[in-house]
């Protein structure tokens, strides 16, 4: 919690002072009463002592005063607020390793199905673009509100050979930022209205840009890149060789690089060893990308709380002791 007028919190010093004043005045009243009457006769004059009830209105009044003082300081909290509009670019790995079957029925099919389900989790007002990458990165679908077009683009993806992660980041953030530039400028310190969600199952094996260069471009354009590492370390695929031979190659996801991409660009990293986990990750990211942390003033909440406690303390004091407080 932060405050627009923190100096107003100095008013909280008055709370313990008022408590001390209450104790001092109470003792003075008891001494004054003892001068005119014998304290031993009080039980015969009063049916019963108020006991703990005498302190309830005071505690409520002091708590109310504390809330009101905090309200004067204009407190702010950070809340997740759903964005009105944004652009999300899905970057999907279509390299040969995506044919591995450690994720059922295979990585490529599971990725497309999860991406299709992802389209149902983001608000209808969000534009979604698609980039595929293997040996190179290419734009499959420019950001659009048309979900049917997005699903058709996913269905038309085909496997390639290498994995150009650096190129994929570069192409995706350029596509996302070009949409963001059509909106008003982003205030300093706030998140971009665009984001990239990159899914890959392997290490960089192709492309002109390295993942580090892609990261720097994403940071420069202020576009967060969330990453998902798909598959397990035991999977393998058959790679064709000259002469009709094939070579068995283990295709473990490069989790370290993907995690670095996410952490350095302000995105999130997840691992998806199976299809169900992958769908869960996509659903979670779809909800998370739709939220934006906003600094919200909550002065009214403290003021309302203080007023309620003050009224409650006054009502109990009137009911029990026939006085306001």
10/20 Cα distance (integer angstroms): 17
Tell whether the model's pLDDT for residue 190 goes beyond 90. Answer: no
Instruction: Enter the DSSP assignment of 191.
Output: P
Q: Are residues 285 and 185 in the same domain?
A: yes
Q: Are residues 214 and 173 in the same domain?
A: yes
- Torsion, CA 248, CA 251, CA 252, CA 257, rounded to 10: 140
Mean predicted confidence (pLDDT) in 244-249 = 71
Percentage above 70 pLDDT, the chain: 81
pLDDT 10s digits, 150-188:
999 999 999 988 899 999 999 999 999 886 554 444 454
Give the range of the structural domain holding residue 114, as residue numbers without chain letter: 84-289
Mean predicted confidence (pLDDT) in 237-256 = 74
Please report which confidence band the pLDDT of residue 219 belongs to, taking 50, 70 and 90 as the band edges. Answer: very high
- Sign of CA pseudo-dihedral 44, 45, 48, 50: negative
59/19 Cα distance (integer angstroms): 9
Q: Are residues 89 and 71 in the same domain?
A: no
Q: Are residues 37 and 141 in the same domain?
A: no
Q: Are residues 123 and 229 in the same domain?
A: yes
Q: Are residues 47 and 157 in the same domain?
A: no
Nearest-CA neighbor of 169 among 199, 202, 145?
A: 199
* Residue 204 neighbours by CB under 8 Å, 6+ apart: 163, 164, 165, 166, 210, 211, 254, 257
Percentage above 90 pLDDT, the chain: 31
Give the model's pLDDT for residue 168.
Answer: 96
pTM of the predicted model as reported, rounded to 2 decimal places: 0.65
Instruction: Enter the DSSP assignment of 175.
Output: H
CATH label of the domain that carries residue 261: 3.40.50.410
Please report which confidence band the pLDDT of residue 32 belongs to, taking 50, 70 and 90 as the band edges. Answer: low
Q: Are residues 134 and 271 in the same domain?
A: yes
Provide the domain count of the chain: 2
Tell whether the model's pLDDT for residue 14 goes beyond 60. Answer: yes
Tell whether the model's pLDDT for residue 131 goes beyond 90. Answer: yes
Please report which confidence band the pLDDT of residue 21 belongs to, taking 50, 70 and 90 as the band edges. Answer: confident
Q: Are residues 20 and 138 in the same domain?
A: no
Q: Are residues 48 and 150 in the same domain?
A: no
Give the model's pLDDT for residue 158.
Answer: 93
Q: Tell me the average pLDDT of the chain.
A: 82
Q: Are residues 171 and 32 in the same domain?
A: no
Give the model's pLDDT for residue 278.
Answer: 83
pLDDT 10s digits, 71-126:
999 998 877 666 667 889 999 999 988 888 888 888 899 999 889 988 888 888 88
Please report which confidence band the pLDDT of residue 43 belongs to, taking 50, 70 and 90 as the band edges. Answer: low
Mean predicted confidence (pLDDT) in 219-236 = 85
Q: Are residues 138 and 285 in the same domain?
A: yes
Q: Are residues 267 and 240 in the same domain?
A: yes
Give the model's pLDDT for residue 154.
Answer: 94
């Amino acid at each position: 919690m932060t405050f627009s007028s923190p100096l107003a919190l100095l008013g909280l010093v008055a709370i313990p002072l008022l408590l001390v004043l209450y104790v001092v005045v109470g003792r003075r009243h008891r001494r004054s009463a003892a001068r005119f009457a014998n304290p031993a006769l009080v039980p015969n004059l009063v049916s019963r002592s108020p006991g703990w009830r005498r302190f309830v209105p005071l505690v409520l009044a002091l708590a109310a005063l504390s809330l009101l003082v905090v309200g004067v300081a204009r407190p702010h909290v950070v809340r997740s607020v759903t964005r009105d509009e944004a652009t999300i670019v899905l970057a999907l790995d279509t390299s040969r390793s995506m044919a591995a079957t450690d994720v059922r029925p295979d990585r490529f099919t599971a990725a497309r199905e999860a991406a299709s389900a992802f389209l149902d989790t983001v608000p209808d007002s969000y534009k979604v673009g698609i980039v595929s990458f293997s040996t190179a990165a290419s734009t499959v679908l420019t950001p659009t509100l048309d979900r049917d077009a997005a699903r058709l683009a996913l269905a038309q993806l085909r496997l390639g050979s290498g994995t150009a992660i650096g190129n994929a980041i570069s192409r995706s953030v350029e596509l996302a930022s070009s949409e963001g530039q059509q909106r008003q400028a982003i205030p300093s310190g706030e998140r971009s209205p665009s984001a990239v969600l990159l899914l890959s199952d392997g290490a960089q094996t192709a492309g002109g840009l390295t993942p580090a260069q892609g990261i720097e471009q994403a940071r420069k354009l202020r576009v967060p890149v969330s990453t998902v590492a798909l598959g397990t370390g035991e999977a393998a695929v058959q790679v064709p060789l000259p002469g009709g031979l094939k070579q068995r190659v283990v295709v473990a996801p490069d989790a370290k690089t993907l995690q670095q991409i996410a952490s350095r660009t302000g995105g999130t990293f997840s691992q998806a060893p199976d299809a169900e986990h992958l769908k869960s990750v996509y659903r979670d990211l779809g909800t998370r990308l739709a939220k934006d942390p906003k600094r919200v003033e909550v002065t009214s909440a403290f003021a309302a709380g203080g007023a309620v406690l003050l009224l409650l303390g006054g009502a109990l004091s009137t009911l029990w002791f026939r006085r306001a407080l």
